Amino acid sequence: MSTDLLDEVKRLHVGSLLLFGFVALLVYLSVVSVGGLAAVGSALQSADYWWVLVILTLSAATYVGAALQLSGSAVGSLPPLLTLSAQFASSFANLFAPAGAGGYAVNGRFLEQRGFESAIAVAAVGLMTVVGVTVHAAATLVFILWVGSTEDTSFDLPTDALVLVIVVFVGVAGVSLALRSTRRWILRTLVPAVGRSLHAVKDVAARPSKLTALFGGAVLVTLGNLGAFAAAVAAVGGGAAFPQIGVAYLLGTAAAAAVPAPGGIGATEAALYAGLVAIGIDGGSAVSAVLLFRLGTFWLPILPGWIAYRHLRHVGAL
């Protein structure tokens, strides 16, 4: 499962890096242009950057949550610090593989190197993913009901934002699906992993501590990212209510996850921007909030992720 993908990440083909950078550049130019360059510049200039510390803190908490998830998904003990390092390494590997494939590969190999059989490692990683999706869906329902119980339930998506979302989603999805590695990973890894995870539920369910770590970690990941997104909105003075921000984030990231793009680049930015505009935040502030959120939760963790990846390979943990 994990060997081929990790070998691809290790090689880091120049062509893949150039393609990733080109797509990222186009996405950010598109998002900024739709939000208005002057408006985005003004919003960033007047932003309260103390909120960036909150974003970074909550972003770090999501890695702790992911480590708890992995520990809870496998019947056996895992070293806490190495498991945490594996989650940073997973985020780095996701930059160069489609739709979370890098994270699957790193966590799968990590478990195998800790003595777990390949089939069990696949089942554990699949279970971790299924629980994460389940918690995200449950949180989405809770926030939708929360918004529905308030007086202001309006969501209005302007035409230009809708066009941006469609163009970016179609473009990024087309490029991603055109890659043979994406199709191969979906058919050979994702589908079997999800199927095997169903068999792992029985073993984990018999251990309350494992269930607590598994679901508690998933909740920490979801709420940590959501809180970081809300902090980014607060930094630019967005002014939207927390329940609305929660719906914008949860629905936006769920939609973006359907696009098999490395690191979610393109789809995530477009979906989150559209969600903020839909709840009444102006284009300049929406773009600025998305840029700050992605800076703290996606771009800045690249360096510690690379360091963790190199360290784990050096010590033979991957």
Q: Please write the tens of the pLDDT for every residue from 228-266.
A: 999 999 999 877 889 999 989 998 888 887 776 777 777
Instruction: Determine the pLDDT at residue 70.
Output: 93
Higher pLDDT, 158 or 92: 92
Lowest mean pLDDT among 148-157, 193-202, 247-256, 306-315: 193-202
Domains: count for the chain: 1
- Does 68 have pLDDT greater than 80? yes
Confidence of residue 270 (pLDDT cuts 50, 70, 90): confident
Please give the residue range of the domain that contains residue 206.
3-314
End-to-end CA distance of the chain: 13
Would you state the structure tokens that stand for residue 297, as one six-digit string?
């939760």
Higher pLDDT, 200 or 293: 293
Lowest mean pLDDT among 25-34, 136-145, 235-244: 25-34
Instruction: Determine the pLDDT at residue 183.
Output: 47
Would you state the structure tokens that stand for residue 50, as one six-digit string?
């103390």
d(CA 134, CA 143) in angstroms, rounded, equals: 14
Higher pLDDT, 234 or 165: 234
Confidence of residue 129 (pLDDT cuts 50, 70, 90): confident
d(CA 201, CA 195) in angstroms, rounded, equals: 11
Higher pLDDT, 261 or 90: 90
Residue 77, phi then psi, degrees to nearest 5 = -95, 145
d(CA 171, CA 33) in angstroms, rounded, equals: 17
Look at residues 184, 175, 177 and name the one whose alpha carbon lies nearest to residue 18: 175
Instruction: Determine the pLDDT at residue 245.
Output: 93
Instruction: Determine the pLDDT at residue 196.
Output: 52
| Mean pLDDT for the stretch of residues 17-44 | 69
Lowest mean pLDDT among 1-10, 56-65, 72-81, 202-211: 1-10
Residues recorded for the chain: 318
Q: Percent of the chain having pLDDT more than 90?
A: 25
Instruction: Determine the pLDDT at residue 221.
Output: 96
Instruction: Determine the pLDDT at residue 1.
Output: 46
Instruction: Tell me the CA distances in angstroms from 224 to 30, 62, 204, 216, 297, one per residue in order.
Output: 27, 6, 24, 12, 10
Instruction: Determine the pLDDT at residue 222.
Output: 95
- Does 155 have pLDDT greater than 60? no
Instruction: Determine the pLDDT at residue 257.
Output: 78
SS3 for the chain, per residue? CCHHHHHHHHHCCHHHHHHHHHHHHHHHHHHHHHHCHHHHHHHHHCCCCCHHHHHHHHHHHHHHHHHHHHHHHCCCCCCHHHHHHHHHHHHHHHHHCHHHHHHHHHHHHHHHHCCCCHHHHHHHHHHHHHHHHHHHHHHHHHHHHHHHCCCCCCCCCCHHHHHHHHHHHHHHHHHHHHCHHHHHHHHHHHHHHHHHHHHHHHHHHCCHHHHHHHHHHHHHHHHHHHHHHHHHHHHCCCCCCHHHHHHHHHHHHHHHHCCCCHHHCCHHHHHHHHHHHHCCCCHHHHHHHHHHHHHHHHHCCHHHHHHHHHHHHHCCCC
Lowest mean pLDDT among 6-15, 96-105, 147-156: 6-15
Residue 304, phi then psi, degrees to nearest 5 = -65, -30
- Does 114 have pLDDT greater than 80? yes
| Mean pLDDT for the stretch of residues 49-66 | 94
**What's the pLDDT tens digit per position in 191-220?**
555 555 555 555 666 677 888 899 999 999
Q: Percent of the chain having pLDDT more than 70?
A: 69
Name the most confidently modeled range: 69-73, 93-97, 139-143, 226-230. 226-230
d(CA 311, CA 40) in angstroms, rounded, equals: 38
